[in-house]
């Protein structure tokens, strides 16, 4: 009997052990093995986010803004006003603005080759994008990083001057004055970047963006009104030359894709950050300025491939919007104008290819026509002098002995 009781007791103990629930797993392990939770996190983190804003550059009024998906007023992250991201190449117009303001011009040429500046050596997007002396116009249109880098590492567009200009043009975020500012390494909000591009089309005057004109009570008594702040940022001539160069981005550069959806006059710049983290397109027409940012809320999530380029991910949103808004609102076609003081000149291609552009004479075998601020005009080509008097003199002298 005693034996039976013992066996029964042992059996009971064994049962107890096997019935004891497993020791509680640590909290993080529970989450790790919760497939539902993992799937939700993945879905949320990899959700593509978009910020899109349209501003009237002449009075600063925000005409349209999409800060996020299914936004309830006052809730959710506004991807136009509340995020700060690197603008990548969308920063380049400010570098070129400084250069033009410093007396350089669209046909000025720089060597499109890698260089090393105290260990900093930027690269172009692809290996087949290097060459000889390249014009500033072409370098901006094709977004050559090495040319922008040569500008911020020389007196063409020194970083501290770029910061000063960008601030005056509407960038309020803190920009770091280092050569890599050429590649847009300081973070900005889509609203300020778009607003700063508005300075270019508004003849050099920045107008602070406003979303509310006035507040009245129920009896129409004015409680408050909001007036934009106007700041003269750059000269009308510099603004005109940059507008013209950004127009080339759309006609023959990285912004060509705009033409798939919008055929009216347009200028702008694409931006793609490292490892395709952020895709940008900011641009304007003679009526409106608009900016698009596409990316992820979690900085660690990136597009990882070329579909994350500004031209692929962001630009179609801009151009489809413009195509539709011009059609539906029946906005009449307007053109960009060249400002007084900006003239067309003919340059000697030989001198451009040698990195020292000169105005062409009638003897220059190959010439390039482009605009330039009249006060910045270089001297005449001396390789192909107007008449060969000097040469004849030389020849005569040499034949004397």
d(CA 293, CA 155): 31
Task: Please say which residue, 334 or 363, places its beta carbon nearer to Zn ion.
Answer: 363
d(CA 70, CA 73): 10
Residue 61's beta-bridge partner residues? 210
Residue 210's beta-bridge partner residues? 61
The residue among 154, 197, 196 whose CA lies nearest residue 179 is 154
**Could you say whether residue 282 binds Zn ion (CB under 5 A)?**
no
Task: Please say which residue, 139 or 381, places its beta carbon nearer to Zn ion.
Answer: 381
Task: Please say which residue, 187 or 353, places its beta carbon nearer to Zn ion.
Answer: 353
At its nearest, how many Å lie between Zn ion and the CB of residue 348? 3
At its nearest, how many Å lie between Zn ion and the CB of residue 150? 24
At which residue do the structure tokens 């890698």 appear? 114
Task: Please say which residue, 353 or 376, places its beta carbon nearer to Zn ion.
Answer: 353
Task: Please say which residue, 297 or 356, places its beta carbon nearer to Zn ion.
Answer: 356
At its nearest, how many Å lie between Zn ion and the CB of residue 231? 42
d(CA 167, CA 107): 27
Helix (H) or strand (E) holding 135: strand 133-135
Task: Please say which residue, 82 or 356, places its beta carbon nearer to Zn ion.
Answer: 356
The residue among 192, 197, 207 whose CA lies nearest residue 83 is 192
At its nearest, how many Å lie between Zn ion and the CB of residue 393? 19
d(CA 252, CA 285): 16
Task: Please say which residue, 88 or 378, places its beta carbon nearer to Zn ion.
Answer: 378
Considering only residues 337 through 376, tell me which ones interact with Zn ion, judged by CB under 5 A. 348, 350, 364
Measured from each CB, the residue nearest to Zn ion is 348
d(CA 136, CA 109): 6
Residue 120's beta-bridge partner residues? 117
Residues in binding contact with Zn ion, number by CB under 5 A:
6
At its nearest, how many Å lie between Zn ion and the CB of residue 381? 3
At its nearest, how many Å lie between Zn ion and the CB of residue 377? 15
What does the radius of gyration of the chain's CA atoms come to, in whole angstroms?
30
At its nearest, how many Å lie between Zn ion and the CB of residue 378? 12
Task: Please say which residue, 151 or 364, places its beta carbon nearer to Zn ion.
Answer: 364
d(CA 291, CA 282): 4
Q: How far is CA 277 from CA 126, 295, 342, in A?
A: 18, 6, 38
Phi, psi at residue 42, to the nearest 5°?
-60, -45
At its nearest, how many Å lie between Zn ion and the CB of residue 365? 7
Considering only residues 12 through 31, tell me which ones interact with Zn ion, judged by CB under 5 A. none
* Residue 198 burial (10 A CB sphere; 0-12, 13-18, 19+): buried
At its nearest, how many Å lie between Zn ion and the CB of residue 372? 16
Task: Please say which residue, 250 or 381, places its beta carbon nearer to Zn ion.
Answer: 381
Considering only residues 34 through 73, tell me which ones interact with Zn ion, judged by CB under 5 A. none
Task: Please say which residue, 166 or 348, places its beta carbon nearer to Zn ion.
Answer: 348
- Quote the distance between the C-alpha of residue 105 and its chain's center: 20
Task: Please say which residue, 236 or 368, places its beta carbon nearer to Zn ion.
Answer: 368
d(CA 288, CA 317): 15
The residue among 331, 286, 310, 103 whose CA lies nearest residue 190 is 310
At its nearest, how many Å lie between Zn ion and the CB of residue 385? 9
Q: How far is CA 167 from CA 146, 164, 301, 394, in A?
A: 24, 5, 29, 55
Helix (H) or strand (E) holding 17: helix 2-19
At its nearest, how many Å lie between Zn ion and the CB of residue 349? 8
What x/- string results for residues 371 through 400 when contact with Zn ion is judged by CB under 5 A? ----------x-xx----------------
Residue ranges that bind Zn ion, judged by CB under 5 A = 348, 350, 364, 381, 383-384
């Amino acid at each position: 009997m005693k034996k039976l009781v013992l066996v029964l007791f042992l059996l009971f103990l064994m049962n107890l052990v096997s019935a004891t629930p497993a020791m509680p797993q640590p909290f993080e392990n529970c989450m790790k093995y919760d497939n539902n939770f993992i799937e939700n996190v993945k879905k949320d983190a990899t959700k593509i986010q978009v910020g899109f804003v349209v501003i009237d550059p002449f009075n600063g009024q925000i005409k349209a803004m999409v800060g996020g998906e299914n936004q309830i007023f006052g809730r959710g992250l506004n991807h136009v006003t509340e995020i700060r991201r690197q603008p990548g190449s969308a920063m380049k117009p400010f570098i070129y603005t400084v250069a033009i303001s410093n007396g350089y011009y669209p046909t000025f040429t720089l060597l499109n080759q890698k260089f090393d500046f105290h260990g900093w050596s930027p690269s172009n997007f692809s290996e087949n994008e290097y060459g000889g002396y390249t014009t500033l116009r072409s370098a901006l249109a094709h977004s050559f990083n090495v040319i922008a880098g040569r500008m911020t590492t020389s007196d063409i567009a020194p970083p501290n001057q770029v910061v000063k200009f960008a601030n005056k043009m509407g960038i309020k975020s803190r920009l770091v004055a280092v050569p890599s500012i050429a590649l847009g390494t300081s973070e900005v909000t889509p609203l300020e970047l778009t607003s700063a591009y508005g300075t270019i089309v508004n003849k050099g005057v920045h107008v602070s963006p406003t979303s509310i004109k006035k507040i009245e009570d129920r009896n129409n008594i004015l409680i408050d009104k909001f007036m934009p702040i106007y700041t003269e940022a750059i000269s009308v001539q510099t603004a005109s030359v940059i507008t013209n160069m950004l127009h080339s981005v759309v006609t023959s550069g990285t912004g060509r894709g705009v033409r798939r959806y919008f055929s009216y006059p347009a200028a702008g710049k694409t931006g793609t950050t490292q490892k395709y983290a952020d895709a940008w397109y900011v641009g304007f027409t003679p009526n409106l300025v608009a900016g698009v940012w596409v990316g992820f809320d979690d900085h660690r999530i990136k597009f990882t491939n070329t579909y994350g380029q500004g031209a692929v991910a962001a630009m179609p949103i801009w151009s489809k919007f413009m195509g539709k808004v011009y059609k539906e609102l029946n906005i009449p076609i307007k053109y960009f104008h060249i400002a007084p003081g900006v003239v067309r000149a003919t340059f000697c291609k030989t001198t451009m290819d040698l990195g020292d552009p000169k105005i062409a004479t009638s003897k220059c075998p190959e010439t390039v026509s482009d605009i330039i601020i009249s006060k910045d005009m270089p001297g005449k080509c001396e390789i192909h002098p107007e008449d060969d008097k000097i040469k004849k003199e030389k020849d005569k002298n040499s034949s004397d002995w």
